[in-house]
Amino acid sequence: MYPKTLAVSICCLAAAALAAFDVKPIVFPADSPATVTVRAENDAERKILAEMPLYYISSQGTWSDGKLHGKSRWRPVWEKIEAKRGDGELTFSIRLNGEGWHSFRFGVPDAKWNFPAKETSEFLLYSLRPDLFKLRPWKGDIHQHSVRCGHAKLEPKVIPAYNRRVGYDYMAISEHRLQAPSVEAIEAATPWQCGLVLFTGEEFHTERNILHSVAVGHSSGINAWQQAHPEEFARRVDEELKKPVYGKYDMDPYLQRNAAMAAVLYQVGRELGAKVLVYSHPTDLIYGKQDDPPESYRTFMLDNADYDALELPNGATGRFDRRTVSADRIMLMNSLAMEQLERGRRPAFVAASDNHNQTSTYFGNVYTVFFAGKCDLDGFAAAVKARRTLAVRDSGTPTYMIYGASRLIKFQEFLEQAYWPGHDKLCRQQGELLLKLAEQGDQSVLPEVRRLAKAIDDYRESSYAAER
């Protein structure tokens, strides 16, 4: 009986580490050759490398020559890989064709090409086309709250530490009607030099909070501007209402004015430098609360509001019956995504924790992954505009949902198995130290915080092979 795991080292122009299940793999450029070296760390693994044959197949069911082999792709025939075997190591070369998964197994298949589960060790690689290979994945949350709203738990200055602890690369506090708490968090975290990137944020509203929208990257508060300029705001709303579009939806005068207020606040957000505007909580209507807007208002907003991204999933656990409300709300989210495509709008999708207690065990389960060369405001905004974002919910009922492009979803599922665990482990170690710094003022942790910041960067870059 052979062990389930191996210590694996992968080389493709640059060396990096890969383990069968738990240690990070390499992401390769598509249609490129790779040289792979597998090294043993104990006698049992040495036995595997000395005796067990190695087989390969791509996620497309093809061999390294790019062709299908065998009678049926549903009963795949694996390619046997010739390898050079040395003292405790095995080296082979292979071409990784196309974009997708590449699966390697040490074991002996039966006549139907099934591998005995207890006698098989497997590791995975992924290859990407050039446009995506040059980018990197970044995980974070732009919709969360602080004690400044009056009904949340934590001070802005400690919230960044909790974000890093759950594995986030970036974050924004988007407080109700306030931009200042996000600035407080930025000012607190900047001296740490921990690698976590913070954006300014705000959740801005109209009357009775009918509008919920998140702004990211603006220089001062949107609702604060409204309060400071009541006459100008009213004038601009009156001008907005003269547009014929407001009469094309079944909204009464109050809802029409509220929709016009929303339009002006979006304009103000742009004027204040917001790089991303998100239409939030588009599925709140499922609850049927008295302060929920009717379908006509939501339809108008989905058709006409100047948002860059739609918040899906959000609040997918129900307030009444967790299973039934969650299922209903998820169905509504799916329908909204489909309807947006039918209407010709193609917004990006972002996830919203709308978290009011970052100490909760649920914090960290809802996040947005974006793909960009750098984790900064411009990179995030560019990813949103190009729809290179994924809205992820990875626990609860159901346990896993992703909204976004199928190509990115496939890669995210690989990252979830092969990249994020190692990334999040390092972030968790650093986050625990940051909590000592933020909550107790323990400056002695700073050298280790900064060492871990570099370790996280090194982990990310070593997960990608050198580009030819």
CB 296 within 8 A of CB 250: yes
Region of residue 313 (left: phi > 0; alpha: psi -120 to 50; beta: else): beta
- Name the nearest CA neighbour of 43 among 8, 88, 4: 88
Fold of 7-130: Immunoglobulin-like (2.60.40)
Average pLDDT, the chain: 87
Check residue 319 and give its pLDDT.
43
Give the model confidence (pLDDT) of 394-419 as tens digits.
Answer: 865 456 789 999 999 999 999 998 89
Residue ranges of domains in the chain? 7-130, 136-455
Which residues 6+ apart lie within 8 Å of 348 measured at CB? 308, 309, 310, 383, 384, 385, 387, 388, 389, 404
Per CATH, 7-130 and 136-455 having the same topology is answered no
Mutual orientation of helices 295-304 and 253-271 as an angle, nearest 10°? 30
431/198 Cα distance (integer angstroms): 15
Give the model confidence (pLDDT) of 5-64 as tens digits.
Answer: 333 333 332 222 333 423 345 799 999 888 877 777 778 778 888 889 999 999 988 999
Give the least confident one: 39-53, 243-257, 265-279, 330-344: 330-344
Amino acid occupying residue 186? I
Check residue 16 and give its pLDDT.
29
| CATH number of the domain located at residue range(s) 136-455 in this protein | 3.20.20.140
Q: Quote the distance between the C-alpha of residue 391 and its chain's center.
A: 6
